[in-house]
Amino acid sequence: MNNVQRPQRRKTASVARPLNMRRRGAIALLFMVFMVICVLVAALAINWSYLVTVQRHMRQVGDAMALAGAAVLPDEGLLRDQPADQTDDRDAALAEVERLRLANLRGVAKPLAIHEDDVTVTPGRVPNIAARLGDRQFIESPPYNAVRIDILRRRDGAHPVTHLMSGIAGAEPVDVPASSIAAIDDQLIGFRPTARATAPLLPLAISEAAWNNRTDQDTNGIREAVLRLRTGDPASVAEANGAVVDFSSVAVDWARIHNQLAGGVRRDELVDGRLGPVGPGGSSQPAPLALPAVLQTPNDAETQTLVQLLNEIATSRDPRRAIPMFRNYDAGKAEVIGFVAVRVLGAESESQGSTAPPRLKVVLEPCHLIHATAWTDAAVALHNPYIFKLRLLQ
Strands 289-294 and 320-330: unpaired
Domain's final residue, options 185, 212, 229: 185
Q: What is the pLDDT of residue 1?
A: 46
- Does residue 6 sit within a domain? no
| Residue 75 and residue 219 in one domain | no
- Say what the pLDDT of residue 160 is: 85
Question: Is the four-CA dihedral 245, 248, 249, 253 of positive or negative sign?
Answer: negative
Same domain for 181 and 221, yes or no, is: no
Asked whether residue 334 is domain-assigned, the answer is yes
User: In this structure, are 232 and 321 located in the same domain?
Assistant: yes
Q: How far apart are CA 20 and CA 29, in angstroms?
A: 14
| pTM exceeds 0.75 | yes
Q: What is the full per-residue pLDDT of the chain (394 aa) written as tens digits?
A: 455 555 555 555 555 566 566 566 677 777 677 777 776 666 666 777 778 888 899 999 999 999 999 999 999 999 999 998 999 999 999 999 999 999 988 888 888 889 999 999 999 999 998 888 888 899 999 999 999 999 998 888 888 887 766 545 556 788 889 999 999 999 999 999 999 999 999 999 999 999 999 999 888 899 999 999 988 776 666 789 999 999 988 889 999 999 999 999 999 999 899 999 998 888 778 899 999 999 998 888 999 999 999 999 999 999 999 999 999 999 899 999 999 999 999 999 988 776 778 899 999 999 999 999 999 998 888 899 999 999 999 8
Do residues 145 and 208 share a domain?
Answer: no
* 382 within domain boundaries: yes
Same domain, 218 and 365: yes
| Domain end (from 185, 212, 247) | 185
Range of the domain at 139: 25-185
Q: Would you state the pLDDT for residue 255?
A: 93
| 333-350 vs 289-294, strand pairing mode | antiparallel
Q: How far apart are CA 254 and CA 245, in angstroms?
A: 10
pLDDT at 7: 52
Q: Three-class SS string for the chain?
A: CHHHHHHHHHHHHHHHHHHHHHHHHHHHHHHHHHHHHHHHHHHHHHHHHHHHHHHHHHHHHHHHHHHHHHHCCCCHHHHHCCCCCCHHHHHHHHHHHHHHHHHCCCCCCHHHCCCHHHEEEEEEECCCCCCCHHHCCCECCCCCCEEEEEEEECCCCCCCEECCCCCCCCCCEECEEEEEEEEEECCEEEECCCCCCCECECCEEEEHHHHHCCECCCCCCCCEEEEECECCCCCCCCCCCEEEECCCCCCCCHHHHHHHHHHCECHHHCHHHCECCCCCCCCCCCCCEEEEEECECCCHHHHHHHHHHHHHHHCCCCCEEEEEEEEEEECCEEEEEEEEEEEEEEEEEECCCCCCCCEEEEEEEECCEECCCEEECCCCCCCCCCEEEEEECC
**In total, how many domains does the chain have?**
2
Q: What is the pLDDT of residue 166?
A: 55
37 in a structural domain = yes
Q: Are residues 326 and 340 in the same domain?
A: yes
Phi, psi of 194 (to 5 degrees): -115, 180
Please indicate, yes or no, whether residues 165 and 210 belong to a single structural domain of this protein.
Answer: no
* Same domain, residue pair 180 and 233: no
Q: Is residue 117 part of a domain?
A: yes
Residues 291 and 334 in one domain: yes
247/127 same-domain check:
no
Are 172 and 194 in the same domain? Answer: no
208 assigned to some structural domain: yes
Confidence at residue 231, expressed as pLDDT on a 0 to 100 scale:
83
Residue 349 belongs to some domain of the structure: yes
Query: Which residues have C-beta within 8 Å of that of residue 86, sequence separation ≥ 6?
Result: 73, 75, 123, 142, 143, 144
Residue 17 lies in a domain: no
Are 135 and 92 part of one and the same domain? yes
Which among 185, 219, 238 is the end of a domain?
Answer: 185
